[in-house]
């Protein structure tokens, strides 16, 4: 994965965030700002002692990818409305809730160049803040006048949990097939991207075929993004990614690089088993050197690019527009990033 620019602290997602007028998402810059504003409004409590926590939570969100998907899918397929700003905020809040809980699961202490909630406060606070965000997101989605968004978003959130639970249940370098892996990341990562695009289309008045195509775009994009995340956890730079790396390896999460390594060199399983009692550093270095000797790096990147290409193809039939172009650029960006 090529290094393109050195990104300033806390600005790592400038490609997607609205504050970069030159980015490919300039066509939704105004609406992205409305999402930021609504997000800040939603992260307020009448209890003053909770304010610093909620404000910190709002900063931890990812690259604002999911709101951008809602808005761009809407604009590429029909009319962009205020409902989309609400929907974008809802999916970002759900995403942030899952990130905050993930940081507890991973015992991570840094996210987007900021301390995690568990690092700055504690695990208990993280669990409750995640729950708070889930509840608030669902309440907000219920302001939309129909139950469609509530159902789709609730269903998507459940599938995210299902994917994460299955990931835990299959951890420990067990014989996880590539198919199982894709099934898991389809839940834990791709599902929210899928539903973001589908909601964008549904609330813009797009027909059923366009909604399906947008959903397919989102799902393939999400899978590409997660494979790239797995890649960066092994071969990324902590400075650029802005979070603790190597955690997947240490936690024996079955990610694509490892699955590939085990597929192409079955004797590796024994070696990995023997490393169970080694120190974190030893274990990490041993796995890394084996990964570097295999074709796991090239294979992982190739698979990510394949899903990104599928995403781009899925919406090829949409009429040309700045929004369509932006969606396709995001798909390319998903596998050509260093953070």
- Calpha distance 86→230 (Å, rounded): 30
Segment lying near a copy of itself (by CB under 8 A), choices 28-36, 118-126, 198-206, 282-290? 118-126
- Calpha distance 62→96 (Å, rounded): 7
Q: Which is nearer to a copy of itself, 142 or 286 (CB)?
A: 142
Q: Is 4 in the site for a copy of itself (CB under 8 A)?
A: no
Q: Which is nearer to a copy of itself, 131 or 298 (CB)?
A: 131
User: Which residues, numbered 164-193, are part of the site for a copy of itself (CB under 8 A)?
Assistant: 164-166, 168-170
Q: Is 151 in the site for a copy of itself (CB under 8 A)?
A: yes
Q: What is the signed CA dihedral for 292, 228, 275, 176, rounded to 10 degrees?
A: -110
- Calpha distance 47→7 (Å, rounded): 36
Q: Is 105 in the site for a copy of itself (CB under 8 A)?
A: yes
Segment lying near a copy of itself (by CB under 8 A), choices 8-16, 98-106, 224-232, 296-304? 98-106
Asked whether the beta carbons of 256 and 301 are under 8 A apart, the reply is: no
CB atoms within 10 A of CB 237: 12
Bridge-based pairing of strands 114-115 and 110-111 is antiparallel
Shortest Cβ 183–a copy of itself spacing (Å): 9
- Calpha distance 132→149 (Å, rounded): 19
User: Which residues, numbered 70-89, are part of the site for a copy of itself (CB under 8 A)?
Assistant: none
Shortest Cβ 62–a copy of itself spacing (Å): 17
Angle (CA) 271-276-280 rounded to 5° is: 110
What's CA 175's distance to the chain center, in Å? 25
174 DSSP assignment: -
CB atoms within 10 A of CB 56: 18
Q: Which is nearer to a copy of itself, 53 or 213 (CB)?
A: 53
Segment lying near a copy of itself (by CB under 8 A), choices 108-116, 146-154, 235-243, 287-295? 146-154
Residue 251 phi/psi, 5° resolution?
A: -90, 5
Q: Which is nearer to a copy of itself, 43 or 197 (CB)?
A: 43
Q: Which is nearer to a copy of itself, 102 or 265 (CB)?
A: 102
User: Which residues, numbered 10-49, are part of the site for a copy of itself (CB under 8 A)?
Assistant: 45, 47, 49
Q: Is 309 in the site for a copy of itself (CB under 8 A)?
A: no
The token duo for 128 is 């409750």
Side-chain half-sphere CA neighbours of 150 within 13 A: 12
Shortest Cβ 136–a copy of itself spacing (Å): 5
Residues 6+ apart with CB under 8 A from 175: 262
Q: Which of 14, 114, 127, 286 is close enough to bind a copy of itself by CB under 8 A?
A: 127
Segment lying near a copy of itself (by CB under 8 A), choices 78-86, 124-132, 276-284, 297-305? 124-132
Residue 338 phi/psi, 5° resolution?
A: -120, 20
Segment lying near a copy of itself (by CB under 8 A), choices 75-83, 157-165, 210-218, 272-280? 157-165
Q: Is 120 in the site for a copy of itself (CB under 8 A)?
A: no
| Footprint on this chain of a copy of itself (rule: CB under 8 A) | 45, 47, 49-50, 53, 97-98, 101, 104-105, 122-125, 127-132, 134-147, 150-151, 153-155, 157-158, 160-162, 164-166, 168-170
């Amino acid at each position: 994965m090529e290094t393109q620019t050195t990104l300033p602290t806390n600005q790592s997602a400038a490609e997607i965030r609205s504050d970069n007028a030159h980015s490919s998402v300039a066509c939704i810059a105004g609406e992205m700002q409305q999402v930021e504003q609504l997000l800040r409004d939603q992260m307020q409590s009448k209890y003053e002692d909770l304010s610093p926590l909620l404000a910190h939570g709002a900063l931890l969100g990812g690259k604002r990818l999911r709101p951008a998907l809602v808005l761009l899918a809407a604009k590429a397929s029909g009319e962009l409305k205020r409902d989309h700003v609400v929907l974008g905020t809802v999916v970002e809040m759900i995403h942030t809730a899952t990130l905050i809980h993930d940081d507890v699961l991973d015992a991570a202490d840094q996210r987007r160049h900021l301390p995690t909630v568990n690092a700055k406060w504690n695990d208990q606070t993280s669990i409750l803040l995640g729950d708070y965000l889930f509840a608030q997101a669902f309440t907000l989605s219920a302001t939309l006048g129909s139950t469609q968004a509530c159902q789709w978003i609730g269903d998507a959130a459940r599938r995210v949990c299902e994917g994460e639970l299955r990931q835990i249940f299959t951890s420990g370098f067990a014989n996880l097939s590539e198919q199982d892996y894709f099934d898991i990341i389809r839940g834990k990562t791709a599902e929210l991207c899928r539903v973001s695009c589908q909601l964008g289309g549904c609330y813009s008045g797009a027909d059923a075929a366009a909604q399906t195509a947008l959903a397919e775009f989102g799902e393939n994009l999400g899978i590409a993004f997660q494979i790239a995340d797995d890649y960066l956890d092994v071969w990324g730079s902590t400075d650029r990614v802005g979070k603790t790396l190597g955690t997947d390896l240490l936690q024996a999460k079955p990610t694509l690089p490892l699955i590939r390594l085990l597929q192409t060199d079955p004797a590796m399983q024994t070696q990995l088993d023997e490393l169970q009692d080694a120190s974190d550093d030893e274990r990490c270095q041993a796995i890394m050197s084996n990964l570097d000797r295999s074709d796991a790096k090239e294979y992982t990147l190739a698979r990510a690019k394949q899903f990104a290409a599928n995403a781009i193809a899925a919406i090829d039939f949409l009429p040309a527009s700045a929004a369509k172009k932006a969606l396709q650029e995001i798909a390319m960006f998903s596998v050509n990033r260093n953070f």
